[in-house]
Structure 1
Amino acid sequence: INISVFPPSNACIGRYILNMQITSCGHTYQRCLGDFYVLFNPWCADDPVYMDNQAHREEYVLNEHGILYEGVHKHITSRPWHFGQFEDGILDICLKILDMGANYHHGSDRDRCWRNDPVHVSMVVNHMISSHTTNSIMKIPENNDYLKGTKPFSWNGSVPILQQWYNGRCRPVRYGYCGSLASVMCTVMRCLGIPSRVVTNFCFPSSIENPLGVNEIFDSTGKNLCGKDKLWRYHCWTESWMARRDLNQCCGDWQSLDPTPLETGRGLACSGPTWVRSIREGELDLDYDGHHMFSRVNSNYVGWLAQNNANRTKFFCDAWPCGQHLITKSVGSEQYEDITGAYKYELGSVKNKEAYYRAYRRIHPGYCNASNCHIERELSSLKNPFLSDSGVNMRLKMANCPMYGEDVQLHWQLENLRNENKTLNFHLCAQIITYSGCPMDQFWKDSVNVTLGPREVKKIPLCISYSQYGPYLCDHNIMKVVAVSDPECGEVLMVSRDIVINRPPVIVKLLSQPRLKVPCTAEISFCNPLQEDMKNCVMTLEGCGLFKEPMTIDLGTLAANQQARTVVEFTPYRLGSHRLLANLGCHKF
């Protein structure tokens, strides 16, 4: 007997058991024929996650290989990530996540009727990633302290994280960061049949007091002080594709989901799902957490100088607006796609201003009946004065693209816009900044007196040696260089530059042609670029379809400029295109 089962498009996702009952001659026999799984189906036009583009389905549902974009907006870096949604056991783990998070929106999970709605499923998964009180999948280290767990940036894929959570009695895995949280959520959503992707937003504001403004405070030397607000250099979240029946949508569209717990005014919480189009239009009453998502791509930046008498002076500076660069992996390509236009209209355009005024009235109830002119006057009082207003333009430009162990070379360009001489005293400094905007050690300071003739352009070379920044960089590969004028000169001018220090590469070379279930060898090589020993070197290898579990190789200590080569053997166990990832960790990073 051949039995076909056709679940309706509104069936609840999950594991089902198929039983057969036979009645013959007054006797009834029962037999279990097996179990099967029902998932969301983006190939079915009646399903709320239906996606009509085959190339998009292959990228956002079937592709197990992703790319995370990090760094800063002027220097975007990338690293591969294994989603691994089709690895053995991952589907059962994803369903366990739904079981553990079932009480998030419902008093009980007896009827499980919510499991046919991708909106509620996405909210449960979003909450379970890092916001559940006891059984969240992953934790973020407090105060950048991860000595009691795994370094957040050492993960290469979602599978080991999900397996560790499941095998560890559903206790949180230590530790992750926004990129790994968003990627694990993308794995779970794709595994359940919901098209999903990871998005990176550069210059991401985290403000407690003013939802549409972020403040950074500096001292007279240019040192970034730790305040209530943080300007994240980048932040990752997830987008999932679905038709929102609760918003009367008849077809699918992207919804943003941020699994990273952030301050929302009601404590730390994840955000979403929020219709991306509602963010662009400033229609914040439509959706979950719309005002939080809007503020994250539309906040103003203000820099302040803290002086000895506790007074603060607003800088003359050219600040990069928040949320001006949002990217994700392109369909069928290793390049990134700029999707900023999906979240906001072109800066300064009529539609951009209309959306901002609309959102401002909803975020600030006191302005619900205010005119556009009234709101614009309020905004003008909050914004930074421009450097050009002071008669001086400044830029910090990179002269090289430094790798770990190399000196940082910059050109400091100053232009006098007036027909008169200008003499200014500047303080320069450099300090480490975490990706989440936390200022760390200040390791370099200098003072320079600059005289500019009428309309003169001057270029001053700056050099920060590895011996100066190396002892402080650690896992944080971003530094901030600041030049700020002495307040005693009158006006306060500031220019800054975030600099990414690139990690040395690991080279992978296949020594034989990969074949299914046939042993294959690869050579992994790495050269220590430093003029000092690299201690506790460990190489981690993994790859969906290649390694059942990550392989670690202890390389010990690598002397200065020493090259390490090792040959590894693995047996591919699945057909298709696969990626072998190699990651090196040591006492330096």
Structure 2
Amino acid sequence: MEDLKIKDVNLEISENLERHRTDGFSSSEALVVRRGAPIRVSLQLEGRAFNPTTDLLKVQIMLGVHLYVLMPVTFSKTISYTRWKAYVDRDNLDSQNPSIFISSPASASVGCYTFKMFGITRGTNKKSYAFGKFTLLCNPWCPADVVYIASEDKREEYIQNDSGLLFIGTTMNPVSRPWSFDQFEPGVLEACLKLLQVSPPHQANKKMDYLNRKNPVYISRVVSAMINSEDDCGVLKGKWEGDFKQGVNPSLWTGSGDILTKWAESGFKPVMYGQCWVFAAVMCTVMRVLGIPSRVVTNFNSAHDTNDNLVIEEFYSITGQKLNRSKDSIWNFHVWVECWMTRRDLGFGLDGWQVLDPTPQERSGGVFCCGPAPVKAVKDRRIDLIYDIPFVYAAVNADVHSVILSEGKVVNYSKDTERVGSLICTKAVTFPRLQNITGDYKYIRSPTSTISSRSSRMSEDSTLSRGSSKGVLVVMSLDKTPVAGETVSFTVKVINKQRAAKLMKIHFNAQAKEYNHSPSDTFWETQGVVKLAPMEVKLIRQQILPVQYEDVVGDDLINLAVVLEDLASQEQVLASEEFNIASTQLIIQISNKETIVCDKEQAATVTFTNPFSHMVSGVLTVAGAGLIQGKVQSRILPLLPGGSLKQRITFIPSKVGIKMLQASLALSNVNSTIRGFKMVSVSGA
């Protein structure tokens, strides 16, 4: 009898990509599949046909250079979620080109596999074989996988969506920032897999690393450490002060693809530079590529408690200037990642969203990473559990102690238990808007509490802050949301709580500040004297003009404070708050938006109106995963105050679905970047 000879293996890539919901990776020209689901491959035989009676087929699976499994090909189509299996469908057998189904367990390790398909002729034991390769990812569609998430809408959002919104700014005025996750762009899959290969755990013990990659808890810690470059050849170098001339200003990144591919192409040299939202967005991309549902989360007024006492101290002078006197800090916003997984290592009730923070702040297990910390454990203050729950708990729950100093002595002290973690949010599923998830992390004390009012974007309570002493209560509030190019108007309400007249000295102070630093020098201040009759309530209105803040603030925030001093008793009272100034938006209009199809040129117009009191110029960048290959950039000539420009751009969509076209204008003579986005529905050609 002629020996069975296998000439080649057809990986049936297009069919398998569609079956495994990995067709977004079609540009990689590789077979990308998900664990816990069968892969169909077809044998190309040379010579005679396959005879089920006289021939045997075996499959050898390798992960790296390590033998993973050697198994016979059977005729049983029963799928096992706990072990590897290979079978032939006898009812639909093509003897000349038989189809083999290879099924991995739902707990198989993530990585790049090779397999060898053996054909053996009974009696002679002569073997013929051919090779194949596939990349195996986690499978949130498989109920037996620990990353399974039941909702199809959530799988589309947290795995398949290649664009999203990051939220920055302040609680009172969250700003949505478009971001391209780019997980299906050329080179991104390969970069994410390389990230696992060059990680210190893999380099130290390749076999153990491969075995551990079945567990998303392990994978997420490796990725969290590898996004920053503090301990390894990680993706991003962080920088929060000084100039960015040796790299890219973090505010200018528009997506993850450029960062990941630049890192891989450079031989794994850290890309310069990143800050928290960049670290988080790139990690979200990597986790979505690896098949683990992920989203980017913003914690407004995020505490960094360096001495683990759950208290953040802030110091002010008697004229309302905020002082840099504490190692503790409150970031106006901090951005991290949540990943969805079952936590079998922690027992019952802690499955679901897990906090992971790739921004290098504190070491965990000796390296700069954070998590996965179950959100449910943070809410219940389960600080006895791994990983890093105390750090996350403090970030959303620390108390704030505000202190007024005069000649080094404390003259006033107040406590705020509700400011930290006042709004925690993420992008809503399906829709381009904010979803408030504060209640997932914290117990909301009552419907009328400050947490509730600050955590709702729809709240009409514009109160900034309150300060109180034995004799006086002071309340400061913005008259409306500050907008670039407009006057900042605010009102101070002073309430005399005693039945005696008072003479008060009042100091106002405004300082520009970056979201994660103490404020810089005062750029606006004024003072005066206030006379209060017994039990009187007095309103004091103030304004900061655009010419006073435009050249100082830009994309920064404003720390605004008022200090009142009773001239008779020298008693001091403080009210303060930090806020951002909303910038104008770029307007994007799509031509013929009802007929946008793949592989056909489309046109869009980007419109910008100068809101500033002086001329501006800059560079306009337009990008969009699945819409534009790379970026389109153009220089904007000086534009007079109030002037408008319209910039026409063209693009050719390459992928079907809802895509994001985003534009950003980096101004050259103002520390500000203006952004806008438009969701685009692309249909098949």
* TM above 0.5: yes
Q: Is the 8 A contact 1:413 1:457 kept in 2?
A: yes
TM-score (norm 2): 0.76
CA distance in 2, matches of 1:459, 1:55: 50
- Name the Cα RMSD after superposition: 2.4
User: Equivalent residue for 1:369?
Assistant: none
Q: Measured at CA, do residues 210 and 26 of structure 1 come closer, stay the same or move farther in structure 2, by a change above 3 Å?
A: closer
Q: Is the 8 A contact 1:194 1:240 kept in 2?
A: yes
Question: Where do 1:64-79 residues align within 5 Å?
Answer: 64-79=162-177
Offset of residue 562 of structure 1? 2.9
User: Equivalent residue for 2:183?
Assistant: 85
- Does 1:260 pair with 2:351? no
CA distance in 1, matches of 2:136, 2:514: 42
User: Equivalent residue for 1:324?
Assistant: 422
Q: Residue 133 of structure 2: SS of its match in structure 1?
A: strand
Query: Counterpart of 1:262 in structure 2: which amino acid?
Result: Q
Query: Counterpart of 1:237 in structure 2: which amino acid?
Result: W
Match of 1:315 among 413, 422, 441: 413
User: Equivalent residue for 2:459?
Assistant: none
User: Equivalent residue for 1:532?
Assistant: 614
Q: Is the 8 A contact 1:197 1:328 kept in 2?
A: yes
Q: Is the 8 A contact 2:199 2:232 kept in 1?
A: no
CA distance in 1, matches of 2:354, 2:133: 32
Note the residue ranges of structure 1 that are not aligned, 5 or more in a row: 350-384
CA distance in 2, matches of 1:268, 1:145: 27
User: Equivalent residue for 1:19?
Assistant: 116
Question: Where do 1:429-448 residues align within 5 Å?
Answer: 429-448=509-528
Match of 2:305 among 180, 185, 207: 207
Which deviates more from structure 2 when the two are superposed, residues 541-550 or residues 403-412?
403-412
Match of 1:494 among 562, 570, 574: 574
The superposition leaves residues 391-444 of structure 1 with CA deviations (integer Å, 9 ceiling, x where unpaired) of 422222222333322221112222223333222101111001111133123101
Match of 2:640 among 544, 559, 580: 559
- Does 1:420 pair with 2:500? yes
CA distance in 1, matches of 2:489, 2:579: 10
The superposition leaves residues 446-499 of structure 1 with CA deviations (integer Å, 9 ceiling, x where unpaired) of 1121122233222211111111112212432x1111101248652220111322
Note the residue ranges of structure 2 that are not aligned, 5 or more in a row: 1-97, 448-464, 673-685
CA distance in 1, matches of 2:615, 2:605: 23
Query: Counterpart of 1:301 in structure 2: which amino acid?
Result: V
Query: Counterpart of 1:543 in structure 2: which amino acid?
Result: G
Which deviates more from structure 2 when the two are superposed, residues 282-291 or residues 395-404?
395-404
CA distance in 1, matches of 2:517, 2:106: 45
Question: Where do 1:136-147 residues align within 5 Å?
Answer: 136-147=234-245
Q: Measured at CA, do residues 152 and 338 of structure 1 come closer, stay the same or move farther in structure 2, by a change above 3 Å?
A: same
* Bigger fraction of residues in strand: 2
User: Equivalent residue for 1:373?
Assistant: none
Offset of residue 267 of structure 1? 9.1
Q: Is the 8 A contact 1:135 1:170 kept in 2?
A: yes
The superposition leaves residues 500-529 of structure 1 with CA deviations (integer Å, 9 ceiling, x where unpaired) of 112221111112332210111111121222
Q: Residue 271 of structure 1: SS of its match in structure 2?
A: coil
The superposition leaves residues 83-115 of structure 1 with CA deviations (integer Å, 9 ceiling, x where unpaired) of 2222232221111111122427x8312341011
**Radius of gyration: which is bigger?**
2
CA distance in 2, matches of 1:319, 1:286: 24
Offset of residue 61 of structure 1? 1.6
Q: Measured at CA, do residues 252 and 209 of structure 1 come closer, stay the same or move farther in structure 2, by a change above 3 Å?
A: closer
User: Equivalent residue for 1:291?
Assistant: 390
User: Equivalent residue for 1:376?
Assistant: none
Q: Is the 8 A contact 1:542 1:581 kept in 2?
A: yes
Q: Is the 8 A contact 2:510 2:561 kept in 1?
A: yes
Q: Is the 8 A contact 2:603 2:651 kept in 1?
A: yes
CA distance in 1, matches of 2:200, 2:367: 20
User: Equivalent residue for 2:660?
Assistant: 579
User: Equivalent residue for 2:102?
Assistant: 5
Q: Is the 8 A contact 2:586 2:608 kept in 1?
A: yes
Query: Counterpart of 2:561 in structure 1: which amino acid?
Result: V
CA distance in 2, matches of 1:142, 1:65: 25
The superposition leaves residues 345-391 of structure 1 with CA deviations (integer Å, 9 ceiling, x where unpaired) of 23489xxxxxxxxxxxxxxxxxxxxxxxxxxxxxxxxxxx9844524
User: Equivalent residue for 1:411?
Assistant: 491
CA distance in 2, matches of 1:465, 1:266: 50
* Bigger fraction of residues in helix: 1
Q: Is the 8 A contact 1:412 1:461 kept in 2?
A: yes
Q: Is the 8 A contact 1:264 1:292 kept in 2?
A: no
Q: Is the 8 A contact 1:243 1:249 kept in 2?
A: no
The percent of aligned pairs where both chains have the same amino acid is 32
Q: Is the 8 A contact 1:441 1:472 kept in 2?
A: no
User: Equivalent residue for 2:373?
Assistant: 274
Which structure has the higher relative contact order (CA within 8 Å, separation 6+)?
1
CA distance in 2, matches of 1:314, 1:230: 20
Q: Measured at CA, do residues 56 and 506 of structure 1 come closer, stay the same or move farther in structure 2, by a change above 3 Å?
A: same
Query: Counterpart of 2:663 in structure 1: which amino acid?
Result: A
Q: Is the 8 A contact 1:484 1:495 kept in 2?
A: yes
Question: Where do 1:60-459 residues align within 5 Å?
Answer: 60-103=158-201, 107-111=204-208, 112-227=210-325, 228-249=327-348, 252-263=351-362, 269-308=368-407, 310-316=408-414, 320-347=418-445, 387-459=467-539
Q: Is the 8 A contact 2:468 2:574 kept in 1?
A: no
User: Equivalent residue for 2:560?
Assistant: 481
CA distance in 2, matches of 1:556, 1:298: 47
Query: Counterpart of 2:632 in structure 1: which amino acid?
Result: M
CA distance in 2, matches of 1:268, 1:492: 45
CA distance in 1, matches of 2:564, 2:363: 35
The superposition leaves residues 307-361 of structure 1 with CA deviations (integer Å, 9 ceiling, x where unpaired) of 22x2233434767431132112222222322222221223489xxxxxxxxxxxx
Offset of residue 251 of structure 1? 8.0
The superposition leaves residues 52-76 of structure 1 with CA deviations (integer Å, 9 ceiling, x where unpaired) of 2222222222222211111111222
The superposition leaves residues 185-238 of structure 1 with CA deviations (integer Å, 9 ceiling, x where unpaired) of 111111111111111111111232344011111122211112322111111111
Query: Counterpart of 2:627 in structure 1: which amino acid?
Result: L
CA distance in 1, matches of 2:467, 2:533: 17
Q: How many residues align?
A: 549
Q: Residue 259 of structure 1: SS of its match in structure 2?
A: coil
Q: Residue 92 of structure 1: SS of its match in structure 2?
A: helix
Q: Measured at CA, do residues 459 and 10 of structure 1 come closer, stay the same or move farther in structure 2, by a change above 3 Å?
A: same
Q: Measured at CA, do residues 164 and 436 of structure 1 come closer, stay the same or move farther in structure 2, by a change above 3 Å?
A: same
Q: Measured at CA, do residues 209 and 268 of structure 1 come closer, stay the same or move farther in structure 2, by a change above 3 Å?
A: farther
- Does 1:468 pair with 2:567? no
Q: Is the 8 A contact 1:51 1:252 kept in 2?
A: no
CA distance in 1, matches of 2:485, 2:251: 19
Q: Measured at CA, do residues 145 and 211 of structure 1 come closer, stay the same or move farther in structure 2, by a change above 3 Å?
A: farther
Q: Is the 8 A contact 1:66 1:81 kept in 2?
A: yes
Offset of residue 13 of structure 1? 0.8
Query: Counterpart of 1:481 in structure 2: which amino acid?
Result: L
